[in-house]
Structure 1
């Protein structure tokens, strides 16, 4: 049984058992719970920690765990309704209201209930993560001289050099800032380049986390449609002219959610159009290390072919390793680099040195390339299994593009289909999907869902998930 599901199941069992104990009553010892439920001591510890966080249990060092007393009457109940007025009031002079809507991101972060197949995940399943290699890297990193000291605010020189080589072209270590993952890097870049109220061009559809960042910063995302070869240059040029925007955010490689790759002939066009508009291109290169086994070498990052400092490059190690290895990079050339650096220092100071040291140990170990090869093979097999299942068993869902990298399929629903109804039916059938609506900053052209094949346990679970989805389609769309 997987560790996460074991913890959740034990927590559910203990939650039901709490009614047997009066408030303040002592629960069985950790050893007794290990023997009764045949789980590890770590699982017991984590389940008790979960119940403690819920306020159901209290733990006393050396004494054990106890049922918590009810909280009713614990203190005066205040009136927080005034916050609704304060939080919704637009500041004087604020051109656009700042809204913080994380719903599109939380879909991929929230763990579904036990027994539900996770087609909505945004990270590799733990079985695909290099857990042993990461543990060994962290252990070695912790023994390095100075590993727990303060790192340079720009990042460790060796790690900056490694990231610079990954980008290629004329990008050097001096052009690189180590960040706390890709989401932080995108936030820093957008804050550096777009003042509140400014228009920002984005691909349509695009990553919901980007739209959440933009709205929280008070900037106005403007959609630029994609086709099977990525963003359309003529529409990009028209959007720059119509809006006066100075920023375009794109994912040229294995775009999320469509999986498309920006065509070779369009790459220089995008850079030329942005340069003529006096604008920056934020390149979110999130999936470069998720190339499938049957794909050829991917095109170089846009930043590698950019002599004029148009591109601000973003990437990270998170997607190909673990959600908790939040080590990423910003690469830029010219005066903009100092602005990026200043914002990062104000926001986060620096990325913790042990995490940077562990990342260095990991990417420098023989296990790194073995892991990349294994992920490439696993993702290819999972993609092929899901594509076959969709095309043979779910013909109502249109699959316009089969990706050669990344970890998801983008499916269009039949005209007039109710996206919300399908999501609800799927969850009742035991499968969690990512809705398509959050990927659009304007009205979507139709209903969509995104299916991830990275967060499931293996091929049999993909087949079973497609079978359950068939039942949900029959219920919601039939």
Structure 2
């Protein structure tokens, strides 16, 4: 008689898969115009220059770029990222950074280094879905903090820190996923002071900050003196170069940075040597800022096309925001509508969005939905909205 195979770890059976990834699989048919995924526009990738960077590093130093490398990351790439941060107001040296497999891995390393099972993590509500998964795998207890169009509410944050004895605050203060909102400068300063008063760590995730179309940039929370010794800043090249390269980074105080390096050694030893080398060569040889000017111009036009078409696409009584940058518009259907229940009917019309409910750590708003505008041209956006209007009109009966 054969004994049963031991079961999976509890965390592997209790943490659900990503509804967004499941929707992307559902809408993979080429005829579907999808507003669901936060996917950069592939036709805007600087593919020729990126290929040239790979060709050059493979021709010049194959023995180095095809070899194992240090856990902290390619010094040239860390230097290039540090220089960009310093030029935009956050003094940073190469040794302040660790290169990761996208900012998602950076968040996993921070969770591994900081969180014990049962520790409390505070999050925006709604907030980034993959972060909720990450904290669940770490065994943390996730507590939502009330948020509005200006970001997380500092008074509610302070109450939650004291009440829950929280250890970590995670937030995306600039062009947040899923809402596209930006935390105001005044609130960023207040958040830093709450962390200073109560011994709170902050994970400040900034994957979208360089995709600004209007308005003025706000200083990072990490730049405020009150929070400088307790804030880890997460960044990524995915939205500004290419997500397939899977390159991100974290900037953290020395003790946490070292703990993250040890955690990374146990996870993957180091991020791909050749991809790091090619990214560093691209940043040295090409003008990323000029490329981003082209990307921002295209994305601004696409955002405006989506906003212009929403009044005719969503039912009367709907509402939505106008983000100054990033990739997402957050909308709400009238009372009585359920965006999750409506999705199959919408997909049957060859268009898609992401329901808002999965992004909530607290009580979900079932009428909310997220629309990404960057992947499609203005003409495709207009057609997608015509399909959406037809599907919702039928649903409204």
Q: TM-score range by the shorter chain?
A: over 0.9
**Could you tell me which of 56, 71, 76 is aligned with 1:153?**
71
Change (3 A) 1:214 1:324: same
Change (3 A) 1:102 1:193: same
1:153-203 superposed Cα distances (whole Å, 9 cap, x missing partner): 101112112222333333322110010101111111112111112110011
Conserved? CA contact 2:126–2:178, under 8 Å: yes
Counterpart of 2:288 in structure 1 is 368
Conserved? CA contact 2:319–2:333, under 8 Å: no
Change (3 A) 1:108 1:138: farther
Task: Say if 2:257 is the partner of 1:342.
Answer: no
In structure 2, stretches of 5+ residues that fail to align are: none
1:367-399 superposed Cα distances (whole Å, 9 cap, x missing partner): 422220111001100000000100244253634
Give, in whole Å, the separation in 2 of the partners of 1:420 and 1:236: 29
Paired residues, number = 389
Q: Where do residues 70-89 of structure 1 align in structure 2 (5 Å cutoff)?
A: 86-87=7-8
Give, in whole Å, the separation in 2 of the partners of 1:397 and 1:257: 21
Q: Where do residues 25-424 of structure 1 align in structure 2 (5 Å cutoff)?
A: 86-87=7-8, 99-107=14-22, 110=25, 112-145=28-61, 146-168=64-86, 169-292=90-213, 295-306=214-225, 308-396=228-316, 398-424=318-344
Conserved? CA contact 2:315–2:334, under 8 Å: no
Give, in whole Å, the separation in 1 of the partners of 2:246 and 2:120: 29
Higher relative contact order structure (alpha carbons within 8 Å, sequence separation ≥ 6): 2
Give, in whole Å, the separation in 2 of the partners of 1:128 and 1:164: 25
Conserved? CA contact 1:167–1:300, under 8 Å: no
For 1:388, what is the secondary structure of its paired residue? helix
Change (3 A) 1:335 1:455: same
TM-score (norm 2): 0.92
For 2:330, what is the secondary structure of its paired residue? strand
Give, in whole Å, the separation in 1 of the partners of 2:296 and 2:13: 40
Give, in whole Å, the separation in 1 of the partners of 2:29 and 2:160: 43
Whose radius of gyration is greater, 1 or 2? 1
Counterpart of 2:395 in structure 1 is 476
Give, in whole Å, the separation in 1 of the partners of 2:24 and 2:105: 16
Conserved? CA contact 1:246–1:279, under 8 Å: yes
Counterpart of 1:32 in structure 2 is none
Task: Say if 2:381 is the partner of 1:462.
Answer: yes
CA RMSD of aligned residues (A): 2.1
Change (3 A) 1:126 1:298: same
For 1:290, what is the secondary structure of its paired residue? coil
Give, in whole Å, the separation in 2 of the partners of 1:359 and 1:108: 31
For 2:179, what is the secondary structure of its paired residue? coil
In structure 1, stretches of 5+ residues that fail to align are: 1-78, 91-95
Give, in whole Å, the separation in 2 of the partners of 1:459 and 1:321: 22
Conserved? CA contact 2:32–2:350, under 8 Å: yes
Conserved? CA contact 1:200–1:222, under 8 Å: yes
TM-score (norm 1): 0.77
Moved over 4 A (4+): none
Give, in whole Å, the separation in 1 of the partners of 2:323 and 2:72: 34
Give, in whole Å, the separation in 2 of the partners of 1:477 and 1:421: 12
Conserved? CA contact 1:102–1:209, under 8 Å: no
Change (3 A) 1:290 1:308: closer
Give, in whole Å, the separation in 2 of the partners of 1:156 and 1:468: 47
